[in-house]
Amino acid sequence: MCLVRIVCEDTVARRNLLKGANKLKAAQGYNKIYVAPDLTKSQQITDNKLREQQVRAEHRDAKINNGEIVILENGQRRVLFSQPS
């Protein structure tokens, strides 16, 4: 396994890179490539706790973002679950 770190100049470039990363799975020869944001240890712990929630069973399109489980409905961001502080 080989790890590669990509440094983006701004958050827009980072967001676009992460957004397009799921298209690699469909590209021939890239199906084993995985792109993930570089998180601090505390962010990793928070995200793991959020993944333990059963929200994804009902909402397949739910995403973890900034310590919350969110979905987009009609172009609006809706928080389904937020980690208590």
Residues 12-47: pLDDT tens digits? 999 899 888 888 878 888 888 888 888 899 988 888
- Residue 78: count of CB within 10 angstroms of its CB: 13
Angle at 63 between CA 57 and CA 65, to 5 degrees: 140
Write down the mean pLDDT value for the chain.
85
Give the pLDDT confidence score for residue 50 in this predicted structure: 83
Q: Is the pLDDT of residue 57 over 80?
A: no
Q: Is the pLDDT of residue 81 over 90?
A: no
Cβ–Cβ < 8 Å for 54, 46: no
pTM for the complete prediction? 0.57
CA torsion through residues 21, 40, 65, 69, sign: positive
